Amino acid sequence: MKLYAIRHGKTDWNVRRVMQGRVDVPLNDQGLAQAREAKENLRGYAFDRVFVSPQIRAMQTARIVTEGRNVPVIPEEALRERSYGVYEGKSRDDFCYEDFWNWEKDVSYENAESIRAFFGRVWPFLDSLKNRYPGEKILLVTHGGVIRAIECYAHPDMMNDQLGRWLPGNCSILEYDL
C-alpha cells in the first residue's frame, strides 16, 4: 500500500506556537493558501480513497486538496490530534514538550494522552488500512502528531528522545510504502 500523509494548513495557534490538540481551530489565510498550494503539488497523484481527521483544520485542508477529484473522503476518529489535556491552548514553553513526545518517558499530563496510548490509537488504524486496502494509494489528511506516529510506525528508529524536535511543516506531503 502506498500511503501519503499531509499535515493540515497553518492556523493562528500554529503561528503563536500554542498547543491545539483536540481544540477545533480553523485555518487562517496562510493555511488556506498552503492547502491550495498542496492541491497543486498533489495534481499528479492519484488516490483510491482519502481519510481525514474530523477536526476543522484537517477537514478544511482535505476539502481543498481533494476539490475536483472523484475520490471518497472519509472522516476517521483515529486521525484526531493527540490530546494535550490541560496544556491545550497553552504555549509549548508552559510544559516539557520534548518529554511529552519521549517514548521511553511516556509522560501523561492531566486529561492528556500519553505517547503510548496515542500511538496505540493510530497504529491499529494503519494496520487496518494495510489489511483492507493492499495495493491501493491512500491519502491521510491529519495533524503533526499523527504524522509523528505514522513516521514511527514506518521507521521505528524515529522513536527516540529527539521525536519532539521533528515536526512536518504545514501542508507538507509525506510518502510511505507500507
Average pLDDT in the chain = 95
Give the pLDDT confidence of 37-63 residue by residue, as tens digits: 999 999 999 999 999 999 999 999 999
**81 part of the active site:** yes
Which stretches does DSSP call E strand in the chain? 2-7, 49-52, 73-75, 137-142, 173-177
Q: Is 122 a residue whose pLDDT tops 90?
A: yes
Q: Is 120 a residue whose pLDDT tops 90?
A: yes
- Average the pLDDT over 89-98 and give the result: 91
> Sign of the C-alpha dihedral, residues 88, 78, 143, 30?
negative
Q: What is the C-alpha to C-alpha distance for residues 157 and 103, in angstroms, rounded to an integer?
A: 11
- Average the pLDDT over 118-131 and give the result: 98
What is the structure's pLDDT at 161?
Answer: 73
Cell 481527521 sits at which residue? 53
Give the pLDDT confidence of 78-93 residue by residue, as tens digits: 999 999 999 999 998 9
Catalytic residue among 8, 76, 143, 151: 8
Catalytic residue among 81, 88, 113, 151: 81
2-177: CATH class: alpha beta
pTM of the model as a whole? 0.95
**155 part of the active site:** no
β-bridge partners, 18: 91
